[in-house]
Structure 1
Amino acid sequence: MLHDLLIAPFAEFGFLRRALVGCLALSVAAPPVGVFLVLRRMSLTADVLAHGILPGVAAGFLIAGLSVTAMSLGGLVAGLAVTLGAGLLSRATGGREDSSLAALYLVALALGVAIISTRGGAVELTALLFGSVLGVDDPALLMMAGVATLTLPLLSLGWRPLVLECFDPSFAAAEGARGGLWHVLFMALVVLNVLGAFQALGTLMAVGLMMLPAVASRHLARSVGGMVYAAAGIAALSSVSGLLLSYHLDLPTGPAIVLAAGAAWAFCVLAGPVDGLLVRWLPRRHLAG
């Protein structure tokens, strides 16, 4: 029974194995980036960039159809343009960077949908917005693996300055941590990981495996390293659970994976050892009795 439930689907179907490998690659790379977004109070930035890449993805689709290479290059250019544009606008006008990001992503989202609608139909629009985990092919797998291969070494190199920037920006500046440079590189990593997740989950859910495990991890660990390990573990478990739920219950695969991650987050909020609701409530109940 357990073999039929947990192992047989992956052993029998090659597309499920490809989907699993791709999601596990995302689970290794994207959640650590999400942890730093949470620590920097930039949790919604990933969602903004997931929408911001859409015009570039749409332009790649317009030129070469559903080509992973063309859509990825277009999305990378669009994502970096939104990120750098928001920073330049905030410095030029004296406004907040998040306001510029909000304005740019709304324009980008509308522009992307308009571009796709000029050539593609409802099927293409749905595929780009919601992804197709079970349709992950070899180029998409290489893209996800490449993003993970690039993300992990860069995060290890920038670990100290990024952590310092999160907790003590003044000390980081005094130590010569080059916070501005690492911020730009970190935002580029966010764009790359959003692009990698887009291949499987689409632009609307690309940040599900990045942010939900990262938010949940703060209820499981107090150190940054512990949060990163917990987030990656939650993402991997959510990937496997979501694929199995999708197979056995005939659910859309991308939403099933994100819902599994959401269930893990809800459990951590309720029963997590760090500021979980039960931990905060039970001692008071005990003392009150």
Structure 2
Amino acid sequence: MIASSVASSVASVGWGDVFDFRDYGALLELVHNSLYAGALLGLVGGLVGVLVMARDLPFAVHGTSELSFAGGAAALLLGVDVVLGSLVGSVLAAVLFGVLGNRAREHNSAVGVLMPFGLGLGVLFLALYEGRAANKFGLLTGQIVAVDDPQLVSLAVISAVVLLALLVLWRPLLFASLDPELAAARGVPVRLLSPVFMLVLGLAVAMSVQVVGALLVLALLVTPAAAALRVSSSPYVVPLLSVLFAVVAVVGGTLLALGSTVPISPYVTTVSFLLYLGCRLVARLRRPAQRPGEPQRPRAVEAL
């Protein structure tokens, strides 16, 4: 009986209940800040994601997002700026992960210990918060349509800091990520770069949590770079493709959601996933002899 009730409910929901583009032009005028924020996040997330994949740290992205979520939830409970709280949580996670381990295995152990702690704290803070339920939900799944001028300025400042750090440190970071032994032999400060990169990652995660929420950060900081690595191994093409895919996912997801009753986050993650599937298909057609599941890595060492 339950199954038939669910089936009838699903059948009663038509596409007209999900998509409605009649007021699309008027709605588009209201989301300029959201589109700017999405473009900034795509630029930063696409670049940082390349280094995340090169350093084999997707798990650390998720762990950082959980502590960023805890910081945002604490700020919400205390009545202070949520962006600041998320930023503090992300920076704290970056410092802890950078100190507790320099190798991928050590990072994973540290993340596995701290991630449930951060998630538990965030859930506790939200349970104590008595304000609007939409604020709680937004920390988990994002609220890009609610980007106001002060928040956009905050995102722009964080983006500028991250981009400046990447501009200065890109070559040594990529070198140390792909071949740490050779990089150390050539005088690159590999051990120092690890906490520095984790700090940059923390800033990028703090941005992402404000847009897509703590649960969906991987869709912007991992999936676009993973897709780009499927179709290219060039140290120059991969970052460009990763940024392009991330911007398309965020901005495209926002534009699609304007004519829908469904929240933005599912569109962002779906577009990102479809781009990844498309790149896998292209890789399979171009390299039929390549084993499935074997990711490409940019041949950047020779170019450094």
TM-score normalised to the size of structure 1? 0.84
- The secondary structure found in structure 2 opposite 1:251 is coil
Shift of 1:82: 2.7
Match of 1:140 among 147, 151, 169: 151
- The secondary structure found in structure 2 opposite 1:173 is helix
**Which one-letter code corresponds to 2:116 in the other structure?**
L
Match of 1:131 among 137, 142, 151: 142
Does structure 2 retain, via aligned residues, the 8 Å contact 1:113–1:125?
A: no
Does structure 2 retain, via aligned residues, the 8 Å contact 1:86–1:101?
A: yes
Cα displacement string for residues 167-215 of structure 1 (whole angstroms, at most 9, x for unaligned residues): 2211211222111222211111111111111111111113322211111
Shift of 1:49: 0.7
Residue 23 (structure 1) aligns with: 38
Match of 1:208 among 213, 219, 225: 219
Residue 248 (structure 1) aligns with: 259
Residue 77 (structure 2) aligns with: 62
CA RMSD of superposed structures (Å): 2.5
**Larger helix proportion, structure 1 or 2?**
1
Which structure 2 segments of 5+ residues have no match?
1-19, 291-304
Deviates more, 1:150-159 or 1:77-86: 77-86
Match of 2:237 among 218, 226, 239: 226
- The secondary structure found in structure 2 opposite 1:96 is helix
| In 1: Cα distance, 2:170 partner to 2:273 partner | 27
Aligned 1:1-289 pairs, distance under 5 A? 9=24, 13-64=28-79, 70-90=81-101, 96-120=106-130, 122-271=133-282, 276-281=283-288
- The secondary structure found in structure 2 opposite 1:218 is helix
**Which one-letter code corresponds to 2:29 in the other structure?**
G
Shift of 1:243: 1.8
Cα displacement string for residues 123-175 of structure 1 (whole angstroms, at most 9, x for unaligned residues): 33211111111111112211221222111121111112112112221121122
Cα displacement string for residues 86-130 of structure 1 (whole angstroms, at most 9, x for unaligned residues): 444458xxx823112111011110111111111236433211111
| In 2: Cα distance, 1:270 partner to 1:129 partner | 31
Structure 1 pair 282–206 and aligned structure 2 pair: CA distance change class (3 A): closer
| In 2: Cα distance, 1:197 partner to 1:210 partner | 8
Residue 294 (structure 2) aligns with: none
| In 1: Cα distance, 2:94 partner to 2:43 partner | 24
Shift of 1:79: 2.4
Does structure 1 retain, via aligned residues, the 8 Å contact 2:86–2:209?
A: no
| In 2: Cα distance, 1:10 partner to 1:150 partner | 34
Structure 1 pair 234–89 and aligned structure 2 pair: CA distance change class (3 A): closer
Which structure 1 segments of 5+ residues have no match?
284-289
Does structure 2 retain, via aligned residues, the 8 Å contact 1:245–1:251?
A: no
Shift of 1:282: 8.4
| In 2: Cα distance, 1:156 partner to 1:88 partner | 24
| In 2: Cα distance, 1:281 partner to 1:48 partner | 35
| In 2: Cα distance, 1:14 partner to 1:195 partner | 26
The aligned length equals 268
TM-score normalised to the size of structure 2? 0.81
- The secondary structure found in structure 2 opposite 1:15 is coil
Cα displacement string for residues 35-54 of structure 1 (whole angstroms, at most 9, x for unaligned residues): 10101111221111111212
Structure 1 pair 202–12 and aligned structure 2 pair: CA distance change class (3 A): closer
**Which one-letter code corresponds to 1:76 in the other structure?**
L
- The secondary structure found in structure 2 opposite 1:194 is helix
Q: Which is bigger in relative contact order (C-alpha 8 A, separation at least 6)?
A: 2
